[in-house]
Amino acid sequence: MTLPVKNERLKSKSKPHMNNRIEQLFDKLRSEGKCAFVAYVCAGDPDADRCIGILNALDRAGVDLIEIGVPFSDPLADGVVNQMAASRALSSGASVENTLEIIRNFRKSSNTPIVLFTYLNPIYTYGFKSFYKDASCAGADGILNLDLPPDEESHNEELREGGQLLNIRIIAPNTPVERITDITSSGEGFIYYISREGVTGERSELAEGIGNQVDEIKKHTSLPVVVGFGISTPEHSSEIAKVADGVVVGSAIVKTIEKHSESGDLFDRVYQFVKPLVDASKSV
């Protein structure tokens, strides 16, 4: 599939949020005319120690931003690959506390921006105020709350706890225009456009109309727009980079981790899989 090329990269109108690493990243890439490559992994998959090694491998591959999934027993928005990753992580003892410890350890050697990809239940159980404070102190930069509608925050002061974490918003292909305006108005850092309805997972073909949808979102916000769901090859990465400010690959990386989890060269396998995807996103 061929996507229409966007005319120019979006110029930011947002103000820095306490020198947040996410905003610094997109400002830098914007000035260089480059697209961000975003990788997703589940915290604690296949276990905490190897997860840190995987994060370091992603760093070596040149990933610009990492989404770290907080393991949850009922991840309804995830396809089977990511569901199994959460199950493996939980079986190895993963928890919210362990997720934050993984981030703390990764921060000893890396300044790569981190977004926590989570459901409401784990952080509600942990305690909103404590979670946002502890996650920020651990080194996280943003949070993507999958099952917390943005307008619910206005009805509950507790749900508005944000601290230094940027609130990343999601827009889907079937989101009405008026709803796009509401969602983007409270967004921070970037907008995550999921290019397909349904759950996460690899696809052989990109969805239709991605470029047009990104253009529509950009009419309502000055935030960068990154695209995910179904992106799994260097060709996909290159095509998305032509029309968006960021490319997200998740399930394909998680599947690579699953395939080689018992191999002695797991970290090299992850690096070898991700590096061509990153390079393709920078080739536009």
Burial group, residue 66, by CB count within 10 angstroms (0-12, 13-18, 19+): buried
3-class DSSP assignment, residue 228: strand
φ and ψ at 261, to 5 degrees? -60, -30
pLDDT (tens digit, 9 = 90+) per residue, 209-246? 899 999 999 999 999 999 998 899 999 999 999 999 99
What lies within 8 Å, CB to CB, of 178 at 6+ separation is none
CA dist 124 and 147 (Å) reads: 12
- Predicted local confidence at residue 161, as pLDDT: 60
In a 10 Å sphere around its CB, with 0-12 CB exposed, 13-18 middle and 19+ buried, how is residue 272 labelled?
A: middle
Contact 200, 170 (CB under 8 A): no
All domains of the chain in start order, with CATH: 21-281 (3.20.20.70)
The token duo for 62 is 């040149």
Would you name the residues annotated as active-site residues? 67, 78
Tokens 């590096």 belong to 275
- Burial label for 156, CB within 10 Å (0-12, 13-18, 19+), is exposed
253-262: pLDDT as tens digits: 999 999 999 9
d(CA 48, CA 121): 21
pLDDT at position 157: 66
Reported for 277-280, long-range contacts at CB under 8 A and 24+ positions apart, including other chains, are: 277/37, 277/233, 277/234, 277/237, 277/247, 277/249, 277/252, 278/37, 278/61, 278/62, 278/63, 278/237, 279/62, 279/234, 280/234, 280/235, 280/237, 280/238, 280/241
Backbone torsions φ then ψ of 164, nearest 5 degrees:
-95, 0
The CA distance from 284 to 279, in Å, is 10
pTM of the shown model: 0.89
Q: 15 in the Ramachandran plot: left (φ > 0), alpha (ψ -120 to 50) or beta? A: beta
pLDDT in tens, 123-153: 989 998 899 999 999 999 999 999 888 777 6
Q: Would you give the distance in Å from CA 13 to the centre of its chain?
A: 22
* pLDDT tens track for 50-78: 999 999 999 999 999 999 999 999 887 78
d(CA 21, CA 32): 17
